[in-house]
Structure 1
Amino acid sequence: MKKFGFWKRKVSLALVFAMLQVSFLHIFAVTALAADGEPELDVKSAILMEASTGQILYEKNADEVLPPASMSKMMTEYLVMEAIHNGKLKWEDTATASKYAASAIGSGQLIAEGETLTIKDLFYAMSIYSSNDASIVLAEKLGGSEEGFAKLMNDKARELGMSEKAQFINATGLSRADIKENAPKSIQGETVMSAKDVAILARHLVTEHKEVLEYTKVPSKKLRESDKSPMINYNWMLEGNSSNVNFKKYAYQGLDGLKTGHTDEARYCFTGTAERNGMRLISVVMGAKTEPERFNQTRKVLDYGFTNFEFKTLAKAGTALDAQKTVPITKGVELEAPAVLKNDVAFAVKKGSADAKLETKVDLLAADKLVAPLKKGDKLGTATLSFGKNSETVDLVAENDMEKAGWFRMMMRAIKNLFVDLFNGVKGLF
């Protein structure tokens, strides 16, 4: 009997162990599925974009237009940085606060009427502290008035490829009810953008004016040296907050921007951007319920991107395409020029996936442009390489110098072509 009891206990333990194994395998499978699956977000809309290509990796109601609140200040940042780049403004230039700018409600409220500050200081205030007063001062400096600046914002929105529904009525993202008699008369409605519009704007900002990140990544800074307290960045997720006792639980590796937003209508919004292993992602969440949640939801989106995707070169500069290895040219010693890609073509691809295949479309220059002599690197046409819904167009260029043929060679070639045409013509008679 004792021997039977021993074996009974042994079988029972084996069964329990087997059941635990099954349970652990099930939990592991569910966990893996959750890790690979798209995030479930408690926001009105969201999007995740790879910055260099504009490739969309995740979206939720991304085309729905909503009030963006202070995220609209990214357009103010873009236009200021464009003016700096074009020489219309210098960082050392100054601007003086009007009565309207100084009276702006909401974030900021640091600048007095008649106070003069440099463009750089105003830009810091707008980027770090989401300063409405600084944004209006900058808008009046560039546009003559905030309404004039709003027209510049809308023109730029069309130029950058944002949707026709995207609209700005001011430099701050405040509503008509907030700015009352200062609301524009020539522009109706409110400031609205979709998550996709916001991501498009953010992408242009960080790729065309990357120096903006030198401002947005600053955790805190005094507006004036004489100020007792610094401006604290509303972006709790900055990597620079990793040692801040108040924000370190929100700090995110590689995150250096970009813009928060909040009004009663918009609720809590955030455009974040982070770079890891050579891949920069842009995330947008709109309509989060609380201030901490806009960052928690952003973490989910960015984690999904960095966990599941890697930035991979799918076609290297200097390589030929199977679809167009050579390009016909005229007046050359050779009548075909070897063609190669001028730049790398890279996309975000799922980690562990098989080598992705690109679809290729080639557009050559007109025949009168493909004439020897050609130098190495001269443009021969373009190649549009598509990966899923995403595509990138790069130049096709000459791999080598192509010499012009001498007059004797061209004369003999012409005689040959004449006889070939004549023979084909006679052949066609029979």
Structure 2
Amino acid sequence: MKILKNQFKKIAVSGLSASVLLPFVINTNSTVLAAEAPEVDAESALVVDFETNQILLDQNADDQRGIASMTKMMVEYILFQEIEAGNLDWNTEVTISDYAYQVSQNYELSNVPLKKGEVYSLEELYQALAIYSANGATVAIAEQIAGSEPAMVDRMHELVESWGITDYEIYNTTGLSNASLGENIYPGSAAEDENVMSAKGIATVASHLLKDYPEVLDTSSIPSMVFREGTDDAILMKNWNWMLEGLLHERPNVDGLKTGTTPFAGANFTGTSMEDGRRIITVVMGAGDGIENKNQRFDETDKIMDYGFNEWEAASIMEGNTVLEDVDPIMVRNGKEDSVEVMSAESLEYLLPNGVEQEDVTWTFDVDEEALNKDGELEAPIEKGQEIGTLTFTYEGENLGYLDGSEHNKVSVVTAESVDRAGFFSVIGTWFSDFFGGLMERF
């Protein structure tokens, strides 16, 4: 991890009136020779650091596009919720409905063969969903959880909106076009409707899934498995994620997460990998059609994974409880001490592009106007750790922010020590001094 020593230009904050409590630049920038983000041969692309949700690459990641079978990550999340709540378990028996059967018999789609009225375990249906993107199995799981697919879609709407995703269209649990579902479409939708979300939206889904239910990787990382081995239903399921071990585009450490392909959406892939203790999430959308160019989505994912791992480095920008020695102490009114030093309230770690050094970081100190009186002073008594402002850092170059839309590049600034209130006569003396001083200014 890169450690940046914080060097500040001396600034004074005491005695400032509220009207001029403006940001103070504490350092100056120099030219940054950071690696440029690669051009990605896809309509949209995104790279996100898993631990922090910091965005490392953004190519049209707010554009709304078809998500196809990446939709199934929402079904997985709700399934894990139900198991966690004790409403279902992996041995739960699921009876295949006429609708789930019909979907499963369409061999132009990704499917495992299901028999109408047959009982399957929830686990084997989930494995078919996660490994083979089986659409009939997905419908069966949705019906088991919510009673019907439309009811499950309603739950999916509630789920993504609880995560702050408001710009989306979700009509079914599979990501197929409604045209593939016959008469079993979401009320009020049309045959041509298809699920739509942005790369940032689908990365948000993936982030919550991985953070809340990391066990999803136990199944998403399986390169191949035989569905219902030893039965008439047996079929070899090869994972559509060709970046897994032993498959065509194998990349070490890739363990998920979900592909998606329809004529409307093109070829999509939400990938994830961990290298040197750091996990990233990648999304490519519209990377060709997935038929004429079957390799494109994986080639482009490989490219942006290289960028996310190799061109960014974790940096300790600020350590917690660091006294800002080059920032003038803040004056204290009616205190046993005349001033108090300030310090950072917490540490701040950030991923910086390779090439960004200490001298490239700019710090801005904003004093909270409400924390000071009109003369820019703190009123005693003061407790250690009393918040009086924020420290914001930036670096030259594009700061892409975080998946939730925030910047996360701020540190609270607090008092470094306590200051007791001065004695009665000292406070009275200050009052008289201020009073008669004010009179003198009038004459």
Same fold, TM-score > 0.5, yes or no? yes
- Shorter-chain TM-score bucket reads 0.7 to 0.9
Q: Distance in 2 between matches of 1:341 and 1:253?
A: 39
Q: Distance in 1 between matches of 2:329 and 2:123?
A: 51
Q: Distance in 2 between matches of 1:120 and 1:267?
A: 29
1:271 aligns with 2:270: yes
CA contact (8 A) 2:62 2:198 kept: yes
Distance 1:91 1:420, change over 3 A: farther
Distance 1:323 1:79, change over 3 A: farther
Task: Output one character per residue of 1:189-214: Cα deviation in whole Å (capped at 9) or x when no partner.
Answer: 43111223222222232233322222
Q: 1:170 aligns with which of 149, 168, 172?
A: 172
Distance 1:185 1:202, change over 3 A: same
1:52 aligns with 2:51: yes
How far the C-alpha of 1:131 sits from its partner, in A, is 1.8
| 1:184 counterpart letter in structure 2 | Y
CA contact (8 A) 2:95 2:117 kept: yes
Q: 1:299 aligns with which of 297, 302, 306?
A: 302
What is the correspondence of 1:117-136 to structure 2 with a 5 Å cutoff? 117-136=120-139
| 1:423 counterpart letter in structure 2 | S
Q: 2:182 aligns with which of 176, 180, 183?
A: 180
CA contact (8 A) 2:253 2:275 kept: yes
Larger relative helix fraction: 1
* Higher relative contact order, structure no. (Cα contacts within 8 Å, ≥ 6 residues apart): 2
2:238 matched residue in structure 1? 232
Distance 1:311 1:426, change over 3 A: same
Distance 1:157 1:320, change over 3 A: farther
CA contact (8 A) 1:339 1:398 kept: yes
TM-score by length of 1: 0.73
Task: Output one character per residue of 1:58-97: Cα deviation in whole Å (capped at 9) or x when no partner.
Answer: 3333232221110111122222234444555444544433
CA contact (8 A) 1:339 1:380 kept: no
How far the C-alpha of 1:177 sits from its partner, in A, is 0.5
CA contact (8 A) 1:384 1:392 kept: no
Q: Distance in 2 between matches of 1:294 and 1:229?
A: 26
CA contact (8 A) 2:387 2:415 kept: no
Q: Distance in 2 between matches of 1:95 and 1:415?
A: 81
How far the C-alpha of 1:232 sits from its partner, in A, is 1.8
Q: Distance in 2 between matches of 1:329 and 1:108?
A: 72
SS of the equivalent of 1:392 reads coil
Task: Output one character per residue of 1:144-163: Cα deviation in whole Å (capped at 9) or x when no partner.
Answer: 32112212222222232335
How far the C-alpha of 1:268 sits from its partner, in A, is 1.7
Distance 1:428 1:53, change over 3 A: same
Distance 1:340 1:222, change over 3 A: farther
CA contact (8 A) 2:367 2:388 kept: yes
Which stretches in structure 1 are left out of the alignment for 5+ residues? Answer: 1-34
SS of the equivalent of 2:197 reads coil
Q: Distance in 1 between matches of 2:332 and 2:345?
A: 18
Q: Distance in 2 between matches of 1:345 and 1:147?
A: 43
Q: Once the two structures are aligned, what percentage of the paired residues are identical?
A: 31
SS of the equivalent of 1:185 reads coil
What is the correspondence of 1:81-230 to structure 2 with a 5 Å cutoff? 81-86=80-85, 88-104=87-103, 105=106, 106-164=109-167, 166-187=168-189, 189-224=193-228, 226-227=230-231, 228-230=234-236
Q: Once superposed, what is the RMSD of the aligned Cα atoms?
A: 4.0
Q: Distance in 2 between matches of 1:90 and 1:67?
A: 32
SS of the equivalent of 2:115 reads coil
Aligned length: 377
How far the C-alpha of 1:127 sits from its partner, in A, is 1.2
How far the C-alpha of 1:116 sits from its partner, in A, is 3.8
Distance 1:187 1:252, change over 3 A: same
